[in-house]
A = this chain, B = another copy of it.
Amino acid sequence: MNQELRETLVLLSRTPKALDALLRDLPDALTMRTEGEGTWTAYDVVGHLIHGELTDWIPRTKRLLEFGESKAFDKFDRTAQERESRGKTLGQLLDEFAKLRAKNIQEISGMKLKAEDLERKGMHPSLGTVTLGNLLSTWAAHDMTHLHQVSRILAHQYREQVGPWTVYLGVLQCNGHSS
């Protein structure tokens, strides 16, 4: 397997563990609150990551390998977690995310992709031509976007309490570009 891809898969294997260590059994006052109207809770983010494991990364990899640029990826539903997480606890979502991610990493590993495979092209419905390397790197960077968002959501719950320190806390200046 390509060395860069191997490293990406290591990072991808860490996200469920990191979110679990951070969020499981935290008080609802931290995990079930948003940054304001129209923004997500940490709970919502985990549901969104699950939906990605089910419908984004692996199905798009397969589409690209099978159809190249001739058949675009299906669009990604950014609000699916509103339906799909319903009735589930955060603990259940964390378990589900970990299980799906482990299975998906195994599936990608089994493809034994080489450097030249990462140059193969597919069609994104809005962005146009992308490579398999772009897609798999985005998988990891997308995890980091949402870890970045979760840390910002949690910090937001302390916005008032930190008082004058707010000016020193970079995360409180972050304008929500990753929600």
Q: Is the pair A171, B148 in contact by a Cβ cutoff of 8 Å?
A: yes
Say how many copies of this protein the assembly contains. 2
Q: Does A58 count as interface, using CB distance less than 8 angstroms?
A: no
Question: If A170-B145, A174-B178 touch, does A21 touch B27 (CB 8 Å cutoff)?
Answer: no
Q: How far is the CA of A140 from the CA of B156 in the complex (A)?
A: 11
- Return A62 CB to nearest CB of chain B, in Å: 18
Chain A residues bordering chain B, tally (CB within 8 A) = 59
Q: Does A53 count as interface, using CB distance less than 8 angstroms?
A: no
Within 8 A of B (CB), among A107-150: 124, 127-131, 133-135, 137-138, 140-142, 144-145, 147-149
Question: If A11-B154, A127-B164 touch, does A138 touch B169 (CB 8 Å cutoff)?
Answer: yes
Taking CB atoms, residues of chain B closer than 8 Å to A17 are: 21-22
Q: Is the pair A155, B164 in contact by a Cβ cutoff of 8 Å?
A: no
Taking CB atoms, residues of chain B closer than 8 Å to A65 are: none
Question: If A22-B14, A151-B144 touch, does A158 touch B137 (CB 8 Å cutoff)?
Answer: yes
User: Which residue of chain B lies nearest to A128 when distances are taken between CB atoms in the complex?
Assistant: B164
Chain A to chain B contacts (Cβ below 8 Å), 19 pairs = A10-B26, A11-B26, A14-B26, A17-B21, A127-B167, A134-B164, A137-B162, A138-B158, A138-B163, A140-B158, A141-B165, A144-B151, A147-B147, A147-B151, A148-B170, A170-B176, A170-B178, A170-B179, A174-B174
A binding-site residues for B, Cβ under 8 Å = 4, 7-8, 10-11, 14-15, 17-23, 26-27, 29-30, 124, 127-131, 133-135, 137-138, 140-142, 144-145, 147-149, 151-152, 154-155, 158, 161-165, 167-174, 176-179
